[in-house]
Structure 1
Amino acid sequence: MPSLKKKPYIAFIFPGFIVYTLFMIIPLFAAVYYSFFKWSGIGPKTFIGLENYRNLFTDARLSGIFWNALGNNFTFVLSVLCIIMPVQLFIAYWLDIKIIGYKFHRTIIFLPYIISSTIVGFLTMLVFNPNIGIINTVLKKLGFESRLSAWFGDPQKAFPLLIVVIAWQGIAAGMFIFLANLKGISKNLIEASFIDGANRFQRFRYIILPCLEPALINNIILGTIWGLTQFDIPFVVGGPQGGIDNSIDFMNLFFYRFSFGGSYYGETSMGFGATISIVLFFIILIITVIQLYILTRKFNHSDKR
């Protein structure tokens, strides 16, 4: 064992390592263990091997729920990467060039992020309630009765609306990562581009964007994990069943129902819930590793050129 005097950083790492082990490593291995059992969470466990995994992927009822929830997660991830993240970058750049009232805009954008997701979900239900909601009330006042809708009660509208609500609350996180990276770009580099006659678009495309490599990698990976681990707002808005016709069902809601809600053919199954969590863990792990490999290789190749 190395001496603490020679390697004092061990004393700083050790408490965090203990906490991480207790709340991350041990529960992960426990979940793997429980996934091989039929167990309600109370009482004796029955070893069933890979039966839970077989049911998850091949059972007519369970596999349909699984693929629907996973599909919703991936659709949300695509929305994050293709819509929300470009908006975060645009807003960050907008604030970095200090447009008129940029401090006010920055505060307004950041405020939803510090509000609890549960409260955001509750406010969403108030705004989009078909009977007393603000949206339908305003439409009635303006004489647009034909535009009235059940909103989250409509499977066709529920998912797009959910994306808007979650983006409204969480857009500040990635935006501030971009903004912090923008603040670190050398002002001399920007001034040199002015002298060379580069317009705003050229400056952004050829100078600023390549300098945003760290923020891009972080936001792509964090955005993917964010999209694959949604729970709070979908749960409040759509309930544990994931809305009408499971239109806003996600993997974490799927896990919650079968672990605590008695949805495993009428009974609670911690073993099957553990199976769902392990499958989701490996999906996130594999995607993250692939993204890291592709992104770091791409950016390193670009730097060499």
Structure 2
Amino acid sequence: MQVETGTPKVKSINPGKRKRWSIHLFPLPALIIYGLFIVYPLLAALTYSFFEWNGIARGAFVGFKNFIDLFTLEPFSGMFWNAFQHNILYFVLQMIVQNGLAFLLAFIIYRKICGAEFLKMAYFLPRLLSVIVVGFLWKLILNPNFGALNVLLGKFGLESLQKAWLGDPDTALTAIILVNCWFGLGFGVLIFLAGFQSIPNELVEAAKLDGAQGFKMLRFITVPLMMPSIMIMTVLTFIQSFEAFELVYAMQGSMGEPYYSTDTLAVYFYRLAFSSSTGGSTAIGLGSALATVLFLFIVVFTVIYLKFVQKKEVDM
């Protein structure tokens, strides 16, 4: 009987398999950053909302008390619904003014007009500025004493239209929203332009041969094929509208001046959690409850809207 001698065979690792596993390591830095700055704060806010707070010291567990106080206890309830209405107006005006104008401008550029490349750059240029810079710039433009807008109105003999744009409760929020529309217009133009450019020319030509012109072309060809771009802009606009903070803070501060007429949910959250304006011991708890409610509202709306749009696309 012969005994086999020699070194044992080592099973070689397939280089292709090793390469496939190494690919999974590349997203790790991004996932770690996302977890630290997005996931962890969300979970922390959810946890904080169930506790009483004495300044920055966590107190006893109070369950859903902070949520109940947010919706039933004055002045928290009244200020919540006041800010919520302003966010709704923010979203509606942005959809009509910003996205409507962006859709029109993108269509004009898509028709290959003279200077189209320059227009794309010009519309997107404000987006390169910091939101804080935009806020202070427009605060100077809208100044009632030396602001460029009132000066121009005076030059054209329209003194009756001159206003303290940011000092009047009837115009302050609308002025801020229109500034935000100016700031975000270029991004909307690029999204819609990409949608127009993705429409197959064969479908357009076939529709023209079938007699589709004007409104029929828009209704039955352009809009259905643009639904992905419209869906993206609607979701992004909704999220941005309900997270509106930087521009409002830069132009009107954390109190939503004048008389809370420019208050938004994000500004109200900042005031509750960090500015110690409530005078009570549960400010951080109430702020965390508000942040949780705002997050859940955005998620629920987005999911319902996406499901609805997908169903409409299937029906089409």
Normalised TM-score (structure 2): 0.88
Aligned AA (1:31): A
Which residue of 60, 69, 78 corresponds with 1:64?
78
Aligned to 2:194: 180
Whole-Å separation in 1 of the counterparts to 2:307 and 2:315: 12
Aligned mates of 1:4, 1:291 — CA distance in 2: 42
Q: Give me the whole-angstrom Cα distance separating, in 1, the residues matched to 2:221 and 2:160.
A: 49
1:200 Cα offset (Å) = 4.1
The structure 1 residue matched to 2:207, chosen from 193, 196, 205, is 193
**How far did 1:188 drift?**
2.4
Alpha-carbon distance in structure 2 between the residues aligned to 1:149 and 1:268: 40
The RMSD of aligned alpha carbons is 2.1
Of 116, 133, 140, the residue aligned with 1:102 is 116
SS state at 1:244 partner: coil
Following superposition, the deviation at residue 5 of structure 1 comes to 4.6
Q: Is contact 2:51-2:58 (8 Å) kept? A: no
1:212 CA drift (Å): 1.0
Of 154, 157, 161, which aligns to 2:175?
A: 161
How far is the alpha carbon of 1:8 from its aligned partner? 5.3
Q: Partner residue of 1:20?
A: 34
Q: Aligned pair 1:80/2:94, yes or no? A: yes
Deviations 1:113-145 (A, max 9, x none): 111111111011111101111122223334443
Confirm whether residue 132 of structure 1 aligns to residue 162 of structure 2.
Answer: no
TM-superposed CA distance for 1:290, in Å, is 0.9
Letter in 2 for 1:27: P
Task: Give 2:268's aligned amino acid.
Answer: F
Partners of 2:291 and 2:239 in 1: CA distance: 14
Q: Residues 44 and 208 (structure 1 numbering): CA distance in 2 closer, same or farther, change over 3 Å? A: closer
CA distance in 2, matches of 1:110, 1:70: 29
Match of 1:39, SS?
A: strand
Shift of 1:58: 0.6
The residue aligned with 2:314 is 300
Q: Secondary structure at the match of 2:24?
A: helix
* 1:91 maps to amino acid: L
Q: Which amino acid aligns with 2:167?
A: G
State the alpha-carbon separation in 1 of the partners of residues 306 and 154 from structure 2: 50
Which residue of the other structure, out of 130, 147, 150, is the alignment partner of 1:116? 130
| 1:234 aligned residue (248, 257, 274) | 248
* Contact preservation (8 Å) 1:73, 1:251: yes
SS in 2 for 1:38: strand
- 1:45 matched to 2:59: yes
User: Which structure 1 segments of 5+ residues have no match?
Assistant: none
Tell me the SS of whatever aligns to 1:151: coil
Q: What's 1:89 paired with?
A: 103
Aligned residues: 300
Supply the AA of the counterpart residue of 1:119. Answer: V
Distance 1:202 1:44, change over 3 A: closer
Q: SS of the counterpart of 1:156?
A: coil
State whether structure 2 residue 292 is matched by structure 1 residue 278: yes
More helix by share: 1
Kept in 2, the 8 Å contact 1:225–1:284? The answer is yes
Q: Which amino acid aligns with 2:90?
A: F
Rg bigger for which structure?
A: 2
How far the C-alpha of 1:80 sits from its partner, in A, is: 2.5
* 2:238 partner letter: T
| Structure 2: gaps of 5 or more residues | 1-16
Contact 2:136 2:250 in 1 (8 A): yes
Q: Measure the CA separation in 2 of the matches of 1:44 and 1:203.
A: 61
TM-score (norm. length: structure 1): 0.91
Q: State whether structure 2 residue 231 is matched by structure 1 residue 203.
A: no
Q: Partner of 1:261 in structure 2?
A: 275
- In 2, the alpha carbon distance for the partners of 1:172 and 1:82 equals 15
**Aligned twin of 1:141:** 155
